[in-house]
Amino acid sequence: MVPTTPIDSKIVREQLKNSRLPDLGLASIREIVKLVNTIEQLTGEKFIRMEMGVPGLEPPEIGIEAVIAALHKGVASKYPMIEGVPELKRETHRFVKLFLNIDVPEECCIPTVGSMQGGMAAFMVANRSDKNKLGTLFIDPGFPVQKQQCKILGHDFESFDVYDFRGDKLGPKLESFLSTGKVSTLLYSNPNNPSWICFTDEELKTIGTLAKKYDVIVIEDLAYFGMDFRKDYSHPGVEPYQPTVAHYCDHWLLLISSSKAFSFAGERVGCVVMSDPLYNRTYPDLKRYYTSDRFGHSLVYGALYALSSGVCHSAQYGLAAMFKAANDGVYNFVDSVKEYGRKASILKKIFTDNGFAIVYDRDIDVPLADGFYFTVSYPGMSGAQLLENMLYYGVSAISLIICGSTRTEGLRACVSQIHVSDFPVLEQRLKQFNEDFKS
């Protein structure tokens, strides 16, 4: 390692050793966060933080004011109903109608402690609905913690990297897994974390058609709702709508987050929205774990009750107010987060100008959108090597390996925590990195 790196190389080496991480390329997001926090504290040097998807924008005032108003009304002393406050259920129902063009009863709109809890509850119920099935098929690359949830629950899972199976290739690949009859649930994110690819309506139709054919429950993670900035999904009740598998099958759950699209991550509030047929479907095998064989009842009064006994009361009113403002057309939540796309465009160029390549660079036959994440590699290095080497230059990210990617040379980079004033610093550090490592 070159001794004159921007970050003290001795301290980096010591902390890598002290972390006791056997393989940095397999380290979780939060493990990287802890490691970099420690190095920053010991060196006094600020890193360019690209490892964690923390919203980098201020939350909407309308959400903050609604939380404060709810607290002043005394909700802090009262347990929230597990199924959610009526205001949030009503506005969630409107939100999915106006921005996804799907109709679901308010009963099927359930608040969760972020999408993370929504996913956990979905696994706890859907993967236990049929004792003859084994678990989840992940369309990767994906959010690493969702596989961790399955591991914690003792559920089996399979996965494949979708990048080489887009368009017409998707159906045969999916069917090779689903035709075994062992898949309970199918999960993907759209836009995709970490690659930022976005499924087309035709691909979503393929997913929905095959899920229906093999009686598989689809879990669609919409953490980055409306954030494919190549199209304008920001106007309520007006085409185009955020694409969704819900148009193409009967048994689906949507994970809707407030963290990114509404910059409300600290309040830990999101929603699970499920189809009416799934909510009311009975699965006799659920009685092994829950008092009811009805899917929706088991998810709400079984899984969610056991996990947290409801969602923070005041936070629900904050999300309800933001949904209402978006539904009424007085708050454009997509315009509020377009800054991420503008940053990504500039940051990609800084990387590629200094010897890096974009790993996932195409969306079938069109250029990839600029958004919350992008992926990078450097010639001659594995993802683990690149991740470690970049620490000495004060830049942090995560390996694509933990995202289920077959592109083991790559890293996921998140744009949200980088301020425009950090761009020259990043450029200088990557320039030095390239000068030190180029062949």
| DSSP-based three-state secondary structure for 435 | helix
Within 8 A by CB and 6+ apart from 116, the residues are: 145, 149
Residues 367-403 pLDDT 10s: 999 999 999 999 999 999 999 999 999 999 999 999 9
Cα–Cα distance measured from residue 99 to residue 243, given in angstroms and rounded to the nearest whole number: 9
Measured between alpha carbons, how far apart are the two ends of the chain, in Å? 15
Confidence check: pLDDT of 331 > 80:
yes
Mean pLDDT of 107-119: 97
- pLDDT computed for residue 108 by the predictor: 98
Domains of the chain: which residue ranges? 9-46+338-437, 61-327
With 0-12 / 13-18 / 19 or more C-beta atoms within 10 angstroms meaning exposed / middle / buried, residue 3 is: exposed
Geometric angle at alpha carbon 237, from 236 and 239, rounded to 5°: 100
Confidence check: pLDDT of 1 > 90:
no
- pLDDT computed for residue 53 by the predictor: 86
- pLDDT computed for residue 439 by the predictor: 72
Residues 219-255 pLDDT 10s: 999 999 999 999 999 999 999 999 999 999 999 999 9
- pLDDT computed for residue 49 by the predictor: 96
Task: Decide the pairing of beta strands 373-377 and 411-414.
Answer: antiparallel
- pLDDT band at residue 3 using 50, 70 and 90 as cut-offs: low
In CATH, what class is 9-46+338-437?
alpha beta
User: Options 3.20.20.60, 2.170.150.20, 3.40.1190.20, 3.40.640.10; which CATH number does 61-327 get?
Assistant: 3.40.640.10
- pLDDT band at residue 54 using 50, 70 and 90 as cut-offs: confident
Tokens of 374: 């992008």
Separation of CA 87 from chain center: 25
Residues 26-37 pLDDT 10s: 999 999 999 999
Lowest model confidence (mean pLDDT) among 50-54, 133-137, 379-383: 50-54
Mean pLDDT of 342-356: 97
- pLDDT computed for residue 166 by the predictor: 96
- pLDDT computed for residue 56 by the predictor: 82
Confidence check: pLDDT of 133 > 60:
yes
| DSSP-based three-state secondary structure for 52 | coil
CA atoms 72, 76, 78, 83: torsion sign: positive
